[in-house]
Amino acid sequence: MRTSGILMPIFSLPSPYGIGTFGKEAYEFVDFLKEAKQSYWQILPLSPTSFGDSPYQSFSSYAGNPYFIDLDMLCDKGLIKKQDFENVDFGENLYKIDYEKLYNNRYKVLKIAFNNFDKANNEYKSFCEKEAEWLDDYALFMAIKDSKNGEAWYKWEHSLKFRDKETIEKKKKELSQEIEFYKFLQFEFFSQWEKLKSYANENGVEIIGDMPIYVALDSADVWSKPHQFLLDETLTPTLVAGCPPDAFSDEGQLWGNPVYDWEYMKKEKIPFSWWRHRIKFALSVYDVVRIDHFRGFESFYTIKYGEETAKDGKWLKGPDMELFEAIKQDFDGKKLPIIAENLGFLTKEVDTLLKNSGFPGMKVLQFAFDGNSDNQYLPHNYDKNCVVYTGTHDNDTINGWVNTADKNEVAFATRYMQTNSSEGFNWTMIKTALMSVADTAIIMMPDLLGLGSEARINTPSTVGENWKWRIEKGCINSWLAGIVRENTLLYGRASKFFQKNLDKE
């Protein structure tokens, strides 16, 4: 069935408290999607952010970002009062997130909520027991990190770095309250998230989550399970992840994440148990999961630890279909609701992996207009089993692209799409995506609003101005929903929920 959706980060939602949350505005966005007959709300990773405020560099691949916990909802539960947060400075810029102010002030309010929380709460105890496999290590990791002013785990003293049993038990006692605080944050995060996701599902909207293929070096994942990664005897990475020079960067992208020890994972008693648990968890949190950098499962680019650029790297073989065959065993062989981000340098082997997996790959229209009629991103070259995007969080907005792209590309795009200047280049490209044969079309929210480069979410290989875009309250309205709905119906992409209710009528 033909479907469509909108990519809108949680952090970009309107909010009076400096960043988007799981509160009122998130529910209103679901209402907007329902009114516009959309099937999907695609979001970016929900993980706590670390270096550069990027959700792709997180302290945990499981934990949720405490900034998304809605303060008004905590107020409704009686955990905090309005006066605890209504005059707190979370950042005054309505269009940009101020992460420094959030870091300095948000946790103070959350600490008040924690102090008023009943730790004997049965739901809380049940949550802690259910999620203990990752939650215990994460909460301990964060508590120790706070006690060391944010110092990375690989700089800790030997006994902590190597998780000496006696030292760990001592820290659990010393930091018991701080550990409990981080567990409380995760309980509130997932309580609010599950309610929001249930509301979306009840209204015919499914959530597409985003899973980074790699985890951050300074994370609870690597600290608690170092044997899953290519580290030396001092727990220093031997190789790190990145991307060779490409259209985004002449020097490549040096991500710095440790890479997996696939041979070790394969030989475990339960092969690939780490990944199997991660996928199972992700598919319990989201309805569909987009796996970032999917090609890394076929072969992955590595750079020696300590290099300053990604120019001099080498490709190593990944687990290929072995991994996904193992994962499918946990789902009785059913087709997994996964989208493969198969962008970048691709080979026949990567194409074969994608085909064998059965997962839909991605097509990005902004990559289509180099003048080559065989370009895989041109709509006439699509097969149905794919997801088309006008752009992604790593691209400029459509209107920003028009102003900065090569003039020949823009001219070709204008001819190819028969651009109508009266409706705007952004709507021409949106309609091109919607009318394509791709099973699913996902539109970036800034493109629906016709915004320029000021609304760009991320510029790869840069730090400082990314992940900050915020939407102004009032932009998400019935007038815009009506336009989206009209085009969704025109190109046969109305949600299953809408079709079902239409049949009843």
pLDDT tens-digit readout, 421-470: 778 899 999 999 999 999 999 999 999 999 999 999 999 878 889 999 99
Give pLDDT, residue 462: 83
Give this prediction's pTM: 0.96
Give pLDDT, residue 338: 98
Give pLDDT, residue 87: 92
Give pLDDT, residue 316: 97
Percent of the chain predicted with pLDDT > 90? 88
| Helix (H) or strand (E) segment spanning residue 53 | none
Q: What is the CA radius of gyration of the chain?
A: 23
Which residue numbers are catalytic? 292, 341, 394
Domain segments of the chain as ranges: 379-405+419-473
Give pLDDT, residue 504: 55
First to last CA, the chain: 20
Stated length of the chain: 505
Give pLDDT, residue 505: 44
DSSP-derived 3-state class of residue 88: coil
Spell out, as residue ranges, where the chain has pLDDT lower than 50. 505
Pick the closest to residue 451 from 399, 376, 383, 378 (CA basis): 399
Give the residue ranges of DSSP H helices in 203-320. Answer: 220-224, 262-267, 273-285
